[in-house]
Amino acid sequence: MVAMQLRVIYGDTDQMGVVYYANYLRFFEASRNEFIRAKGLRYRDFEERYGLMLPVVEASVQYRQPARYDDLLTIEATLSEARRASARFDYRVLREGELLATGHTVHACVDPGGKVRRMPPELLARLGAGEPAGAA
């Protein structure tokens, strides 16, 4: 698990002063990038070194409590599953230890043409995933 902090800016909120629901996906992306960075890579390195991309093919958010303008949030990202050609990240959004939201994203591993590809074993090991759990 890798955690990062993010302060909610006014532009992240709706007219009611609550974080707009879709912005949680942006928060997830930021924490996923920090997860990859903590493993010694940047997402750009992933594309350049391996010639692969990880587009989101599934996303889910469960909202428990609202986050508001100027809240200091902690967003946790965990690589919960890595398969031959996909990966799942789980997320938790907290404010001072209070759980505000949970969610996940699933990513396909594809080449620049969009064809599904296997994740390189070196990459899986670097991300801490060990061996793939099964097909796609």
Catalytic residues: 14
Could you tell me how far CA 102 lies from the centroid of its own chain?
11
Contacts of 125 (CB under 8 A, 6+ apart): none
Contacts of 8 (CB under 8 A, 6+ apart): 19, 67, 68, 69, 70, 71, 72, 73
CB-CB contact of 6 with 83 (8 Å): no
CA distance 8 to 91: 17
